[in-house]
Amino acid sequence: MNAILLYFLLLKATLVSFSGLASLPIIHNDLVVQRQLLTERELNTAVGVARMGPGPLGLYLVCVGYYVAGIPGAIAGCLAMITPAFLVIPLSRYLGRRADQPAVQRIIHSVILAAAGLLIASTIPLARDAVNNLQSAGLALVSFLILAFTKTDTAWVIVGSATFGLLSFAAFHLL
């Protein structure tokens, strides 16, 4: 796919999402379900790989871009990730302190809550692909509990699960 078109597709997702992985349901719908440019597994891998290093959650867009269109795609993904950030300048010029108004906050809260629901809905097909036995179900559950209820860094969960995968592979095949 053309990197410029990809940029606008990804930008559409980042422009209507307000936090973390909230853009993922739109990416999932556009690239996996509608256009089939990306598989469930690739989207899942993009999120996992991006979390192995430092940086914002939105970095997975770089990996999504690379899967769809190579290096130009990765650049498109990176630009789609950062473009909306500059909207803060006109916002602070014209909205300023009025950003704290209850009506504005209420709209943002509702959009974020709906995005959380959408995120759960798009986790289901990814889970069907990645969770296929007792071990992976346990890993998914433990990862959820650690990240939802403790302050542990995501990178540790990624490193920990990789170590667990390697150890259980070694135990199964070498013993």
Partner 1 sequence: MSRPGLGQLTSIFLRAGNTTFGGGDPMIAAMQRELLHSRKWITDQQFALGYSLARLTPGTNVLAFSAAAGWFVRGILGAVAAVFSVSLPSAMLALWLLIAYQHAQSNPWVQAAAAAILAAVVGMMAASAWLLVQPRLQSSGLARCLLLAAAAATLHFQAHMSPLLILLIAAVAGSMWKEPARQ
Contact 158, 57 (CB under 8 A): no
The residue type of 152 is T
- Please, how many CA atoms are within 13 Å of residue 156, restricted to the half-sphere of its CB? 8
Residue 7 binds to partner 1 (criterion: CB under 8 A): no
Number of chain positions touching partner 1 (CB under 8 A):
111
Residue 155 binds to partner 1 (criterion: CB under 8 A): yes
Residue 39 binds to partner 1 (criterion: CB under 8 A): no
Give me Rg for the CA atoms of the chain: 18
Residue 68 binds to partner 1 (criterion: CB under 8 A): no
Helix (H) or strand (E) holding 57: none
Between CA 147 and CA 142 the distance in angstroms is 9
Binding to partner 1 (CB under 8 A): which residues in 102-121? 102-104, 106-121
Residues shown for the chain: 175
Residue 4 binds to partner 1 (criterion: CB under 8 A): no
Q: Kindly tell me which residue out of 3, 32, 46, 68 binds partner 1, with binding defined by CB under 8 A.
A: 46
Minimal distance in Å, beta carbon 120 to partner 1?
Answer: 5
Residue 95 binds to partner 1 (criterion: CB under 8 A): yes
Q: Kindly tell me which residue out of 7, 26, 36, 68 binds partner 1, with binding defined by CB under 8 A.
A: 26
Minimal distance in Å, beta carbon 35 to partner 1?
Answer: 13
Residue 130 binds to partner 1 (criterion: CB under 8 A): yes
Contact 105, 37 (CB under 8 A): no
Contact 48, 59 (CB under 8 A): no
